[in-house]
Amino acid sequence: MTSTPTSDRGRLGLRGLVAAPHTPLTATGELALDRVAEQARCLREDGVIGVFVGGTTGEWASLTVAERQRLLEAWAPHRTELRLIAHVGHHCQRDAIALARHAGQLGAHAVSALLPSFFRPSDAAEVAAFQADIAAAAPELPFYGYHIPGMTGVTVPVVEQIAACLERIPSFAGLKFTDPDLHAFAACRRAFGAQCELIWGVDELLLSALPLGVQAAVGSTYNYAAPVYLRLLGAFERGDVAAARSEARTVTALVDALLAFGVLRAGKALMTLRGVDCGPPRPPVSPLRPAARRELFEQVRTLGLFAAGAAAPDRGAERRADTAG
């Protein structure tokens, strides 16, 4: 895919699922980038159209800038098969600028950045000013804001954020909307749906968001449960409400299990059932203990999560994870 001139804001025009991949680590917490190729293969086989690299699921805040650059370099060879969106957000604007420039040099399809959560912007003008310099470091790439107020604590109304960014940032293409506030999402769609791309980011509420015009979604559970969501999308498109609700119940049960065991640690553990050992999370998040991991795996197997469209569980990876735990 070639870059689109920013005169039309270069929107990606995404249609489908974009996974937020886990950053693979060794048992001692070092990058295990040799596993990225297998992650990419699994996602392609499952029908995922792109990757949002180095986001919340990718543990960006627990990685150094150099590690984040190496991670993106490992994903770059797969950009001909998967849309490559580089998350470059950082508390330090200068580090975010460096990451955006690096993403542009690698040929990513787009960059995205969340807002800082320690010193937070207090109004829409500060939001746009902070992100404008980041976007300018890769001016040939579409820039997507990353709205995740549950993590950043930023309370500036999102409609005001978008309006300010559209005015200030030539390459502003849209927003990754990771917020369960469907009313706010609908307001953004009404105000800016024709001007920018609003990408849904709350996996368990995908069915609720589809009637509001969602065309693409970014999520962590698409790493190992994409077939369920694709069946949900297919049922919605053909008007089969009962089938869509059935798939949504599976999604809800999956997310309930993740919440019970800890979303990040449980998600990384589940990757072994997909055949890719992504290792443990970095501190302060601790890995699942062996007994908890086995309980999680049994709960997920009862959902039939890997019954269709996914690789058989890697029992060897499970045993290695138990040993590491």
Q: Choose among 46, 134, 45: nearest CA to 92.
A: 134
CB atoms within 10 A of CB 157: 13
Please state, in angstroms and rounded to a whole number, the distance separating the CA atoms of residues 200 and 206: 7
CB atoms within 10 A of CB 24: 23
Q: What residues act catalytically?
A: 146, 176
Please state, in angstroms and rounded to a whole number, the distance separating the CA atoms of residues 192 and 280: 40
Burial of 159 (0-12, 13-18, 19+ CB in 10 A): middle
CB atoms within 10 A of CB 39: 25
Pairing state between β 50-53 and 172-177: unpaired
Place of tokens 């849209």: 174
Please, are residues 23 and 61 in contact by the beta-carbon 8 Å criterion?
A: no
Please state, in angstroms and as integers, the Cα–Cα distance from residue 100 to each residue in 136, 186, 201, 219, 313, following that order: 9, 29, 21, 21, 36
